[in-house]
């Protein structure tokens, strides 16, 4: 389950952000509205109330998993001032037996702010980062205000050293560098996620791979309106995933990532490649 919306928007401004697309479709938000992130609660007590309201239908005694967050990055710069993510974590960890599954593109800030809490509750926290690029300069064009991948990877290593359980999600796996699609100088970028994972200095305890979704909307927002171009790219991407996924899984198996144990695919990717995966082991307590 996900935590409530105590922030709105996300300053990281990833070009493929599903949450931004949702706000664009539903409320007509522009990109600049989305990246002007702001708190939705006025005080920390309001955040506590929001979290407790979320408990109402779920027993605090069960071993549920709470994703922080599915709607924005919990450690975007706002967190330094408001500390609402801290309040959420403290409330849930103190008042329930749930596990927290953290996911951020600002893991250095996360550790600077909340390392004490993570280590105190290390058995109930999964510390996760998203990785889509390995070159800082290219990543900056796609995820402009997030921490660069080299910094994320260092933070992952640090989290491992602290004894936290760690996970990495490569979603979206983007074969083409998005800004080059707009410039018309299409540049193949990441053939398979293995290229990223081989560069990791530590092995995460869990790995998730996912494809690029909502391609039509993303391209439209990037200024590509030609239906032919969009259709061609969607077909190319589909072909790409179908071609490279079997090889990727084989290579990851050699690196001891086993499908259904410590390696998972998002449903969209699994479906595309006709791979059946059960999710009962994901973030097991």
Asked whether the CA dihedral 98, 55, 208, 259 is positive or negative, the reply is positive
Q: Which residues pair with 212 in a beta bridge?
A: none
Which burial class, exposed, middle or buried, applies to 139 when counting CB atoms under 10 A from its CB (0-12, 13-18, 19+)? buried
Smallest separation (angstroms) from ligand SF4 to the CB of 40: 14
d(CA 6, CA 2): 12
**Residue 147 is a binding residue for ligand SF4 (CB under 6 A):** no
**Residue 266 is a binding residue for ligand SF4 (CB under 6 A):** no
Residue of 144, 192, 138 lying closest to 170 (CA atoms): 192
Question: Binding marks (x or -) toward ligand SF4, 171..210, rule CB under 6 A?
Answer: ----------------------------------------
Smallest separation (angstroms) from ligand SF4 to the CB of 221: 13
Judged by CB under 6 A, how many residues of this single chain contact ligand SF4?
A: 12
Which CB, 17 or 219, lies closer to ligand SF4?
17
**Residue 85 is a binding residue for ligand SF4 (CB under 6 A):** no
**Residue 73 is a binding residue for ligand SF4 (CB under 6 A):** yes
Name the segment binding ligand SF4 (CB under 6 A); options: 15-23, 120-128, 258-266, 268-276.
15-23
Which CB, 73 or 90, lies closer to ligand SF4?
73
CB 191 within 8 A of CB 236: no
d(CA 270, CA 6): 32
Residue of 215, 166, 213, 171 lying closest to 196 (CA atoms): 171
Length of the chain: 285
Q: Which of 3, 6, 7, 12 is close enough to bind ligand SF4 by CB under 6 A?
A: 12
Q: Which residues pair with 166 in a beta bridge?
A: 127
**Residue 124 is a binding residue for ligand SF4 (CB under 6 A):** no
**Residue 110 is a binding residue for ligand SF4 (CB under 6 A):** no
Which CB, 145 or 180, lies closer to ligand SF4?
145
Q: Which of 14, 164, 168, 249 is close enough to bind ligand SF4 by CB under 6 A?
A: 14
CB 63 within 8 A of CB 99: yes
Residue 100: asked if its preceding bond is cis (omega within 30°), the reply is no
Instruction: Using CB under 6 A, list all residues that contact ligand SF4.
Output: 10, 12-14, 17, 19-20, 72-73, 105, 143, 146
């Amino acid at each position: 389950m996900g935590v409530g919306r105590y922030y709105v928007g996300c300053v990281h401004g990833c070009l493929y952000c599903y949450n931004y697309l949702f706000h664009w479709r539903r409320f007509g938000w522009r990109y600049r509205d989305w990246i002007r992130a702001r708190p939705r609660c006025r005080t920390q007590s309001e955040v506590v109330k929001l979290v407790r309201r979320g408990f109402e239908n779920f027993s605090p005694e069960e071993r549920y998993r709470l994703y922080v967050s599915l709607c924005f990055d919990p450690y975007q710069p706002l967190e330094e001032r408001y500390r609402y993510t801290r309040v959420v974590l403290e409330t849930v960890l103190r008042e329930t037996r749930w596990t927290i599954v953290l996911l951020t593109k600002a893991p250095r800030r996360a550790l600077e702010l909340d390392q004490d809490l993570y280590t105190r509750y290390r058995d109930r926290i999964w510390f996760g980062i998203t990785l889509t690029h390995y070159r800082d300069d290219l990543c900056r064009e796609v995820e402009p205000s997030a921490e660069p991948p080299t910094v994320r990877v260092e933070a992952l290593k640090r989290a491992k050293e602290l004894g936290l359980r760690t996970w990495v999600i490569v979603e979206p796996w983007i074969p083409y560098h998005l800004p080059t699609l707009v410039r018309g100088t299409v540049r193949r970028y990441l053939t398979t996620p293995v290229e990223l994972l081989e560069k990791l200095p530590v092995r995460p305890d869990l790995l998730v791979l996912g494809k690029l979704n909502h391609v039509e909307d993303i391209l439209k927002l990037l200024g590509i309106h030609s239906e032919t171009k969009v259709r061609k790219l969607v077909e190319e991407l589909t072909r790409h995933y179908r071609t490279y996924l079997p090889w990727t899984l084989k290579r990851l198996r050699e690196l001891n990532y086993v499908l259904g144990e410590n390696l998972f695919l998002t449903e969209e990717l699994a479906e595309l490649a006709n791979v059946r995966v059960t999710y009962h082991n994901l973030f097991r307590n």
